[in-house]
Amino acid sequence: MSSYSKAEKNLHKLYLSNYFLSKSSLELEEIIHGSKAKKHPVEEYVFITGLARSGTTALMNKIFATDEYASLQYSNMPILLSPNLWNKKLKIAKHERAHKDGIIIDGNSPEEFDEYFWKVFLNDSYIKDGLLPHEVDEKVLKKYLTYVALICHSKGKKKYISKNNNNILRLSSLAKIPENQIIILFREPLTHASSLMKLHKTFSENQKEDPFVLDYFNYLGHHEFGLDHKPFLLTQDFIKNKDNYGRDDLNYWLQIWINYYEYLLDNFDDHLMVVSFEDLIEEPNKVFAYVKENLKITSLMSSDKKHVPTKYTEVSCDLKLKDRALKIYDELSTRKGY
């Protein structure tokens, strides 16, 4: 983002902040490319989600590397709702992403840009002082499937993959899509909470230095951390107690973890595929075999190297929160399908 020119930043603002313009661009896409896209129905929809810092990007990148799936990529920015008319216009050189976690991105890298569709067509109705779970109207869901078909057409693929951490908000609606596969990632709670808190501090500092970073996050509906952090408002317990701790306190981020995964367990469906971050790091080929077995992947998936995540020293936290989180973690571990 720091490499964007003033003209590129202005283009982002012009398009991404104007929902009438972005809707119109999708309508134009349908007029020009809609009939062609319908000739090749999408055969599989893969949705990867989980609380940020749970390994969703790593798994997404591995599946995307099979070259069997279409996804929105950095090259689609910022004209996101016109994947055919604006395909590969923005050139981005390889660099480490802003998270500073060793993941290298360029214009061809996939990212969770389809949240912008939901923002536009739901008119930000689910974004208040936090993000609210919601059912998607049938008309909007149908429009989303049209959009996905256009993305697949633009990439020359018949299968679609999306990594979107906000999809916890609409899991039941996504489950209505035929040929869907939903993969949920989770991570050991204390390490996960520490990672979230660290990144919140990093992005808050970055956004103070460069206001465009904050605008960029807001345009795309990414409120996991930073100056405009908005938590998922999933459980009544979290809504009642979320202000008990400041955002520089590990207990706050432990509450965030409990809120997310307790909600997931309360609304669990056996159709969901559950993967742990620890398995993805320590036994990647075991995870890849499970994924390949359940998805329509024909290519080989394997890893010769293992990612080494940041280690966090033991920090103090509320023992009741810790115990509650670890029990949820143990329960999630029993839901793994491998």
- Every domain of the chain and the residues it spans: 6-334
Residue 313 pLDDT: 72
Q: Looking up tokens 């706050």, which residue turns up?
A: 252
Query: Does the pLDDT value for residue 45 go beyond 80?
Result: yes
pLDDT of residue 95: 41
Side-chain-side CA neighbours of 303 within 13 Å: the count stands at: 20
pLDDT band at residue 2 using 50, 70 and 90 as cut-offs: low
pLDDT digits (tens, 9 = 90+) for 197-244: 999 999 999 999 999 999 999 999 999 999 999 999 999 999 999 999
Residues above pLDDT 90, as percent of the chain: 85
Burial of 255 (0-12, 13-18, 19+ CB in 10 A): buried
What pLDDT does residue 311 have? 72
Residue 125 has pLDDT above 50, yes or no: yes
The stretches of the chain forming alpha helices (DSSP H) are 6-16, 19-38, 56-64, 115-121, 138-155, 171-174, 189-209, 211-220, 236-241, 250-266, 277-282, 284-294, 319-334
Structure tokens given for 270? 């056996």
Report the C-alpha gap between 11 and 79 in whole angstroms.
9
Six token digits for residue 248: 């520089």
pLDDT digits (tens, 9 = 90+) for 46-102: 999 999 999 999 999 999 999 999 999 988 999 999 999 997 655 555 544 444 444
**Mean pLDDT along residues 33-58:** 96
Residue 277: pLDDT band (50, 70, 90) is: very high
pTM score, two decimals?
Answer: 0.92
* pLDDT the model gives residue 97: 43
Distance CA 136, CA 134 (A): 6
Q: Under 8 Å CB-to-CB from 124, ≥6 apart: which residues?
A: none
What would the mean pLDDT of 184-203 be, rounded to a whole number? Answer: 96
Mean pLDDT of the 319-332 span: 97
Beta-bridge partner residues of 2: none
Q: Do the bridges between strand 273-276 and strand 95-96 make them parallel or antiparallel, or are there none, so unpaired?
A: unpaired
According to CATH, the topology of domain 6-334 is Rossmann fold (3.40.50)
**How confident is the prediction for the chain on average, in pLDDT?**
92
Poorest-confidence range of 7-16, 71-80, 89-98, 245-254?
A: 89-98
Q: What is the mean pLDDT of residues 159-173?
A: 97
- 18 compared with 110, residue with greater pLDDT: 18
Predicted pLDDT of residue 1: 60
Q: What are phi and psi of 336, to 5 degrees?
A: -65, 145
pLDDT tops 90 at residue 310: no
Tokens of 96: 């480490």
Q: Report the SS3 class of residue 276.
A: strand
**CB 190, CB 317: distance < 8 Å:** yes
